[in-house]
Amino acid sequence: MSALGVLPYALAAGGGRVDGHEASALVAAGLALLRGHAPLVRRLTGRRSAILCPPSPAFLVALAASEGRGAVLVNPLAAPLEVAMQCTDAGVGAVFTVAELAGRVPPGVATVLLDDAPRQAIVRLDGRESVVPLAMPAGLRLDDDAGAPGRDEEAAVVYTSGMAGRPLGSIATHRNLLHNARAVRAAAGLAPLDHTLALLPFAHLFGLTVTLAAPLLAGGRVTTMARFSPQRVVELLEGDDVTVLAGVPAVYLAILGALARRGGPLRPRALRRCIVGGAAVPVTLQDAWTRASGVELHQGYGLTEASPVCLINPVDRPNRHGVLGIPFPGTEASVRIPYSHRPDADALAAPLTPEVPDGTVGELCVRGDHVSPGYLGGGAQGLPRPDGWLYTGDLARREADGALTFVGLAKAMFTRNGFNIYPRELEAALLEHPRIAGARVAGVPHPTHEHEIVVEIAGEATDDEVRAWCEVRLASYKQPTAIRRVAR
């Protein structure tokens, strides 16, 4: 079986770079970490790893050090109790992270600090701290078939789909991620001379696949941004040779806001490809971006359970604003009578529903090598996939030419800044408070953040108590915008 069927090895073989570091050197550093610390290897034996890192070269080092086992990709914005839940649920033996985020790692879990990667790492294990050099004198030689299919083994686990109140660990195999990254590379026309600006967390599969994996497979360069700054993005687009930009709608709105405050259009030096997804995309945003930058904003569509991209407006066709796009190569798409998506429904027993005629609204379903095999623990409360067809929970309409348009949601969720918000998950966290008798969460449309979060509370807890409770249990993007009082 080819070594290049393992995601980090395939990325290393592409010949790309991340923040000036050769991808092959970053992967070699991850392997050197395992060779240089036997107790860490023993701690990981039979367990998963977790990666809690901002976008940076350290992420690829950590992915390589996970050595093909399922790495739980933890959002850097996650709250301490969310990190703890994911580590416990997935059976994590060690967390790869940086000093700024290390305080969120649960007690007793081995911690590997990668602030100084790829030069060295600091391992904290069983009360001891040791420095591990990450140099691999022999280098990393990868001579296998660069087009080898990915292995049908866990590569990553991402927690999502909390429709029933508890997030589920969605499994992405090496086959899933490599298939999707190669499709992105082809659909976006990525090449070795491309320079991608990575703004999204790599724990968000849109960020991992579109802004890290696909560019590295193409042999290109990736520049990361640990903290998003629209002003800094403008500077890089105008002062550097960035050719590819990808983000959620809130990212592009923030950049347009920075341009409006400065005055004048964007004057990019080399930008040629802009991709947007992760939330509903207003036509007005696509129009405004094209006017301001001179570059078309191509919409795509995906979800975590599809690793993630399924549809895109191809770059070799006229860009259609307001349209999700057409299926990727290797992706089948259909519009079917919707699944119920009730919290008490058993997704594992869901039947395959009939297709609806073109022009009729139904649930968007996708099938292909990029679709996740399922969730940790089975996932009866997740998204169904009868006969391999993943029911996305999104409502769409297919036109006669095969293009698909987003219509709405069949599942109980909304988005905020490109991240999914599941009301029942937030309500479950709130109801654990002893002074909260009832809770209801709703999304209120917002022009730049997609939605704000409004919480209705019944009980004696004060607003300060509610916010303090949420801060340690819910990621920063899940924090309530407004708290309202209702009678029991």
Region 137-152: mean pLDDT is: 73
Region 15-30: mean pLDDT is: 96
376 pLDDT more than 80:
yes
Q: Which strand (E) or helix (H) includes residue 468?
A: helix 463-473
Confidence of residue 142 (pLDDT cuts 50, 70, 90): low
CATH code linked to domain 157-409 = 3.40.50.12780
Per domain, the residue ranges of the chain are 3-148, 157-409, 414-485
Q: What is the pLDDT of residue 148?
A: 81
CATH fold match for the domains 3-148 and 157-409:
yes
CATH code linked to domain 3-148 = 3.40.50
Residue 249 near residue 418 (C-beta atoms within 8 A) = yes
Per-residue pLDDT tens over the stretch 410-461 = 999 999 999 999 999 999 999 999 999 999 999 999 999 999 999 999 999 9
Q: What is the pLDDT of residue 329?
A: 86
Q: What is the pLDDT of residue 4?
A: 76
Q: What is the pLDDT of residue 76?
A: 97
Per-residue pLDDT tens over the stretch 387-411 = 999 999 999 999 999 999 999 999 9
Residues facing residue 129 across a β-bridge: 124
2 pLDDT more than 70:
no
Q: What is the pLDDT of residue 115?
A: 98
Q: What is the pLDDT of residue 147?
A: 76
Closest alpha carbon to 324 in 394, 226, 227: 394
Confidence of residue 104 (pLDDT cuts 50, 70, 90): very high
Residues with Cβ within 8 Å of 261's Cβ and at least 6 positions away in sequence, in order, are none
Confidence of residue 180 (pLDDT cuts 50, 70, 90): very high
Give 329: exposed, middle or buried? Use CB within 10 Å, 0-12, 13-18, 19+. exposed
Residue 450 near residue 250 (C-beta atoms within 8 A) = yes
- Average pLDDT, whole number, for the chain? 95
Rounded to two decimals, what is the model's pTM?
Answer: 0.96
Q: What is the pLDDT of residue 487?
A: 84
The three-class DSSP label of residue 474 is coil
Region 255-270: mean pLDDT is: 96
Region 372-384: mean pLDDT is: 95
CB atoms within 10 A of CB 460: 11
CATH pick for 414-485 out of 3.40.640.10, 3.40.50.1820, 3.30.300.30, 3.30.70.100: 3.30.300.30
Region 272-295: mean pLDDT is: 97
